[in-house]
Structure 1
Amino acid sequence: MNKPLRHVWLVVSVLFVLLFTSTTYFQVIAQPRLNAHGQNDRTLYNEYGRHRGPIVVDGHAIASSQESGDTYGYLRTYDPGAMYAPVTGYYSVVYGFTGIERSLNDTLSGEADSLFYHRISDILSGRQGQGATVELTLDAGAQQAAWDALDGRRGAVVALDPETGAILAMVSAPSFDPNELATHDTSAVSQAWSALNEDSSRPLTNRAIGGDLYPPGSAFKLITASAALESGDYTADSVIPGPGTYQLPNSSSVMNNFSEGRQDACGPDDESTLAEALRQSCNTSFAMLGVAVGEDQLRSTAEDFGFGKDLSIPMGVTPSRIGEDLDAAQLATTSIGQYETRVTPLQMAMVAGAFANDGVVMQPQLVQAVRTADLSTVAELTPREFGQPLSASNAAQMRQMMVGVVEDGTGAAAAIDGVEVGGKTGTAEWGTDRAPHSWFVGYGQTEQRKVAVAVVVEEGGYGSRTAAPIAQDVMEAVIQP
């Protein structure tokens, strides 16, 4: 080969290597970065141009895709929108996605690894690829009852099946219409987005599993009582102190039994049984009980219920928590659900569920099944134990005490004829010159059905007046549909 030909061959070889290297770089190494680039319209159109599987509750598609006739290919619609919006989230060409739309995006779009063979089958048969159907565990009747009972007030409701962990209702209010964010009119989407983010009531926040979390108030006494029983030093019949006032240890602060400032003792000679203290919701009794039980036992029991632990349903859940390195005064106020104690309604529904399930907390789950377009099942709910904070015998004692709260105590408004209902109200202080949050945490059961529920109404006042009737409606919808 003469010298000019060798030079040509060398140049062609170098150009070939450069072409091969650059092609490999952009198609393999840089592909994820380029696909994620905000100005990559091709990726955007590819994402929204695929048929997306529906999200289904009791056979009804609460989120579905239809051909849009524009460059995006498909439009996501929600029916009804606001009632399920904290669960479904939104699917927007401008602002991305949230909720189940985000957590199960690969499943809904058909790109999940579990759908690989179905994608191959579609390609070989010439069918258009479709995303999988996601069937939720929600009970449409319970969801509607919770939505109607909240009636637009700020707050949240969670109901679940204590034996399987299936979430039967998850409502957060106020809510929003996801259709306004899913439209392909980008100007209208931007206006709706601005209005929602400027709204001081935070309609985009799912209060059931996240946000700023809530002090649980007296509803936390269920955990303090559980810790006492699990310590082995107490039973429901144990006599505990309950004076009209209690000066917090090493503090000038004095705790009263009732928020109106009354200083009534919890029983004769400033004493009562643990069961009676729970029925009356005695602050001094549980503050002193928490100090006696100790931080380690209280924290251990709370953690066994799920406090401080990461949780996916599959949406991420903000962990509930109590304060760290508590002194005696802080431990006393923590034991009645104040100080730095913060919870999600889902966590408190898990607490109630443990009592109705012989002390076992089940992993909460929102997805009943995943099915392909040909109705073959890809995944199905499998009940899984999350923890066991108390023994079956202690859970039975807790149920007995909680039934007393509903039959002859602060939870009377949650009672249902012919149903065993147990619970605990809470009136949680959270700021100066603000009305307290209203809580009810409890369960209802018959031989055929069980349900655990947690209700919080922001600035709703007494749990006995505001949250308990809401819980009654939701439990009734599950047990007596």
Structure 2
Amino acid sequence: MNTPIRRLSVVMAALFTTLLVSTTLIQFVQAKTLDAMPANKRTILDNYARERGSIIVGGQAVAKSVPVEDQYQFLRTYPQGKLYSQVTGFYSYAVGAPYGLEHASDDLLSGNSDTLFVRRVTDLITGRKTAGATLDLTINVKAQKAADQGLGKSRGAVVALDPRTGAILAMVSHPQFDPNPISSHDLATASKAWEALASDPNKAFLNRSINELYPPGSTFKVVTAAAALEEGVVTDENSVVPGPAVLDLPLTDTNLPNENRQPCGPGDKTTLIHALEISCNTAFGSLGLQLGGEKLRAQAAKFGFGDVIQIPMRVTPSSVPADLNAPQAAQSAIGQYEVKTTPLQMAMVAAGIANQGRVMTPYLIDQVRSANLDVIQSTPEPVELSQAVSPQTADILTKMMVSVVDNGSGARAQIPGVKVAGKTGTAQHDLGKPPHAWFISFAPADNPQVAVAVVVEDGGVTGSEVGGGRIAAPIAREVMKAVLGK
């Protein structure tokens, strides 16, 4: 073999080796990434030709695929329309599945999950068409409808949890949207519907319950009280705390007043339980000064602030800023400054207190079933996220929150024959706009079965807890009643 031929052989061998390596990378290493690309219409067409699994709530499909006589073979439909829109998301050939369960659990719904491998092999051998898995959700139908009706035309969100397990019993975000036009096989109709949704100034596509961050306002005072009890700054609900009309803050000329500009008790002092009943700013601001920012932040973290949680959709982490100076710590202690939280996170705070201080990891999927209804994944074992506070502290906080409902600003959450624990909140945000109205709660207080967080955007009244008590508390009450069968 002469030199030119030998060189050509080396070049040809190198080319074949490069081709082999490239093919291996594409077929094995990059396969999943390429399949998941929104622009890969071939994969979507292949999935459309396969019956996608249903999403079930209370025995009824809230998302399902029906056979059609076109190139796609199956049309994704949403029989409940708007009610579950932010939970399900949508599945669309025109625009893909940007969020919701359709995206987060696509591998199960499409039948591509590794847990369905044996099923796919069996289907290949028998010649059956592979179908996706069915998802049974934890949502309580009555609670979901109560939350939806309670919010009405208001913007905001409601989340209800089973405090014992972390199961999500209701998840409603307003405004809503109808996923059906977006899943249409008429690409012009689907694209037009998506463009309208994507440009909606009210952000109807946004799941406010898990992906919008709000200042929590006075509902965060429960976290401050928890930190004060855990750190020994106070010993019980009857501990005396400062409650002047205005709290003098160090390092600044701006002070912290009570909303009514009045002291919270005689001699500028009050008890911890009374401070929570009337939502005394200066009392909790004073506790924030004593605790300092890091202890506040550490206590919030024990309730889940800062954690990245998948339910399986990704939940935007809530946050308390680091390196707070004294005035910032006082403001943060009343749920203002830069404290930001999702409604799900505040429901976890209420649920943690209800569950003797144990915060359970929230989840939305109760069980997964194959196309022939065999259970692939059964109801998950409850997973403890953290022990946020001791059982003794949880008992004290429960007494205080019950008193808020029985004797304070949360009276509209009362349920005859049921002991309810709660806390109102009014959260300042943009200048010139009404504050957000908040309410967190759980019931029955002596045997908790449901914890709820409600936020109504711009639903508060500046300078009082009226919004939280009048607007948000009745919504929480109806959701709790629905779960309890009242």
TM-score in same-fold range (> 0.5): yes
Gaps of 5+ in 2: 461-466
Matched, 1:232 2:224: no
Matches of 1:243 and 1:449 in 2, distance apart?
35
Partner of residue 326, structure 2: 328
Q: CA deviation at 1:123?
A: 2.1
Matches of 1:371 and 1:47 in 2, distance apart?
18
Matched, 1:439 2:438: yes
Shift of the 119–325 alpha-carbon distance from structure 1 to 2, 3 Å rule, reads same
Residue among 358, 377, 380 paired with 1:379: 377
Equivalent residues of 1:109, 1:131 under 8 A apart: yes
- The size of the alignment, in residue pairs, is 471
Q: Which stretch has the larger CA shift, 386-395 or 115-124? A: 115-124
Q: CA deviation at 1:374?
A: 2.2
The percent identity for this pair of structures is 47
Shift of the 312–477 alpha-carbon distance from structure 1 to 2, 3 Å rule, reads same
Equivalent residues of 2:421, 2:445 under 8 A apart: no
Partner SS state of residue 135, structure 1: strand
Matches of 1:417 and 1:37 in 2, distance apart?
54
Partner of residue 42, structure 1: 42
Partner of residue 126, structure 1: 127
Equivalences for residues 105-144 of structure 1 within 5 A: 105-144=106-145
Partner SS state of residue 86, structure 2: helix
Partner of residue 418, structure 2: 419
Equivalences for residues 180-329 of structure 1 within 5 A: 180-211=181-212, 213-234=213-234, 235-258=236-259, 262-329=260-327
Shift of the 479–32 alpha-carbon distance from structure 1 to 2, 3 Å rule, reads closer
Partner of residue 348, structure 1: 346
Equivalent residues of 1:54, 1:64 under 8 A apart: yes
Equivalent residues of 2:293, 2:324 under 8 A apart: yes
| AA matched with 2:218 | S
Partner of residue 84, structure 2: 84
| AA matched with 1:325 | D
TM-score, normalised to structure 1, is 0.93
Matches of 1:345 and 1:33 in 2, distance apart?
33
Matches of 1:171 and 1:446 in 2, distance apart?
24
| AA matched with 1:45 | L
Partner of residue 454, structure 2: 455
Shift of the 191–287 alpha-carbon distance from structure 1 to 2, 3 Å rule, reads same
| AA matched with 2:457 | E
Equivalent residues of 2:354, 2:445 under 8 A apart: no
Equivalent residues of 1:449, 1:479 under 8 A apart: no
Q: Which stretch has the larger CA shift, 215-224 or 36-45? A: 36-45
Q: CA deviation at 1:351?
A: 0.2
Partner of residue 335, structure 2: 337
Partner of residue 104, structure 1: 105
Shift of the 156–35 alpha-carbon distance from structure 1 to 2, 3 Å rule, reads closer
Matches of 1:415 and 1:399 in 2, distance apart?
15
Q: CA deviation at 1:431?
A: 1.6
Partner SS state of residue 116, structure 1: helix
Matches of 1:369 and 1:177 in 2, distance apart?
26
Partner SS state of residue 469, structure 2: coil
Equivalent residues of 2:297, 2:321 under 8 A apart: no
TM-score, normalised to structure 2, is 0.92
Equivalent residues of 1:158, 1:345 under 8 A apart: yes
Q: CA deviation at 1:39?
A: 6.1
| AA matched with 1:176 | F
Matches of 1:116 and 1:358 in 2, distance apart?
41
